[in-house]
Structure 1
């Protein structure tokens, strides 16, 4: 039953991001910054000797295009849950690679295939992050690295606080904090994690809602339902009383397989 529920939720996530694909880039300021930092970390970690790269959750291709520019000779497999996002990332012939619809926490590969596995702001949609990290790390060749960013608990704290002030619970997932991510990474012999904060100028509650819709992040945490209109209006008023802006806490992690 839980598997069926999760498959249904994954389909809703795919549909939401697919519906947002055409306008995603207009709303994705923090996403651009996080993707650039993942690429920087990867190039510092493995500037040479990269033959195969797997990207999880490519979206419209911020990180994908950066990967192509930094490792033009590498074989690239870019994946996403949403076929519409894949179509945007592969449009225009800007990236030479294989584009594959795939759930990143259930990779369709076996064995030690990749020198780099990269992902930016996709892992927060996983049902089982520790299990997914183990499965992905098993796909690394000796000396290969998995480098990723994901949402942290400090994201959208004012929006959450506005819900709490109204006696309600936000539909935003319960993201891990940095200590929790470090604990998840602890079993891996060569791993680290750190965080970065990105301000989000919303200009009010309507701006924040437009941002979330624009990037497709509208599927509530499992077990939570969208607010009734009157409750949403209360939350919006409370949010604007705090200033009407919010922010992202983005967690970055790296796992390297021993040589």
Structure 2
């Protein structure tokens, strides 16, 4: 899987829409140990929009944002949540045990990590007793935004330039996360929601995926002409799949949520 070069400005074009699932997730998080001075990890913090929401909920906590993109962390330290600490590290290999966290939050990150369900026992073991894991991931890999992209990548014109590998490692179904968290010694609440988001402006779905699913492709398309041609083809497919209406373009977006409390 290609490691994408992230663009914080593009990602934050839809900051409110991307942050809403996090707020819904945190609304289900119970009190965590050592409040108000809890230790909170934001694994995959990106440009700090998620870290800022954590600061609203836990103003006195010691919060550390973790991400593998120096560009994202630079934005997080300045315009994201400047009062938090930040660490450049890969979410797939980072071990939270030394931090002794009361809460581990991951907002739309695990889908990038192959085999990420195997991280949950390690995260649970790192928690203080009564500590919490809370994460949410997109569950729309079977939607046209992703299937059209995969088909285009497999096409004769683009197969060599951008590769046939999937843009993301993918996610599991809610029941699989529930079982994994229970096996890890947690009491878990797992659910899913489909948001119907109204996007406006020209090619709004294309602009949305430019900040996320399309990043590995854009990273490979170093020639501007090739990039423009690929975006033109993909944009046409998205306009057909998500036609504009009188008030904008309706973009259904399925999300999978989990909140797990370590027993003991």
Q: Same fold per TM (> 0.5)? A: yes
Query: Residue 163 and residue 80 in structure 1: after superposition, are their counterparts in 2 closer, same or farther (change >3 A)?
Result: closer
Q: TM-score, normalised by structure 1?
A: 0.76
* Residue aligning to 2:251: 246
* Residue aligning to 2:68: 81
Give per-residue Cα distances to partners, 1:217-256, cap 9 Å, x unaligned. 4226xxxxx9984964773464256976432111111222
* Residue aligning to 1:37: 24
Deviation at 1:117, TM superposition (A): 0.8
Is 1:28 the counterpart of 2:36 in the alignment?
A: no
Local SS of the residue matching 1:55 = strand
Local SS of the residue matching 2:9 = coil
Question: Equivalents in 1 of 2:236, 2:10: separation in Å?
Answer: 28
* Residue aligning to 2:158: none
Q: TM-score, normalised by structure 2?
A: 0.74
Q: What is the aligned-residue RMSD (CA, Å)?
A: 3.5
Number of corresponding residues: 239
Deviation at 1:111, TM superposition (A): 4.7
Deviation at 1:33, TM superposition (A): 0.2
Determine which of 163, 170, 179 is the counterpart of 2:175.
Answer: 179
Question: Equivalents in 2 of 1:236, 1:253: separation in Å?
Answer: 30
Question: Equivalents in 2 of 1:257, 1:28: separation in Å?
Answer: 31
Determine which of 142, 149, 164 is the counterpart of 2:136.
Answer: 149
Give per-residue Cα distances to partners, 1:89-128, cap 9 Å, x unaligned. 1115953221111111211443570111112111111111
Deviation at 1:194, TM superposition (A): 0.6
Determine which of 188, 193, 201 is the counterpart of 2:190.
Answer: 193
Q: How do 1:208-219 residues align onto structure 2 when only pairs under 5 Å count? A: 208-215=205-212, 217-219=214-216
Local SS of the residue matching 1:142 = coil
Determine which of 43, 63, 67 is the counterpart of 2:50.
Answer: 63
Determine which of 38, 41, 51 is the counterpart of 2:38.
Answer: 51
Question: Equivalents in 1 of 2:9, 2:236: separation in Å?
Answer: 31
Contact 1:50–1:115 (Cα < 8 Å) also in 2: no
Question: Equivalents in 1 of 2:134, 2:66: separation in Å?
Answer: 15
Give per-residue Cα distances to partners, 1:69-93, cap 9 Å, x unaligned. 3222221111112111111111159
* Residue aligning to 2:102: 115
Contact 2:133–2:261 (Cα < 8 Å) also in 1: yes
Question: Equivalents in 2 of 1:204, 1:87: separation in Å?
Answer: 28
Where in structure 2 are there 5+ consecutive unaligned residues?
156-163, 218-225
Q: Which moved more, 1:90-99 or 1:244-253?
A: 90-99
Question: Equivalents in 1 of 2:77, 2:68: separation in Å?
Answer: 14
Q: Which moved more, 1:108-117 or 1:156-165?
A: 156-165
Question: Equivalents in 2 of 1:50, 1:203: separation in Å?
Answer: 41
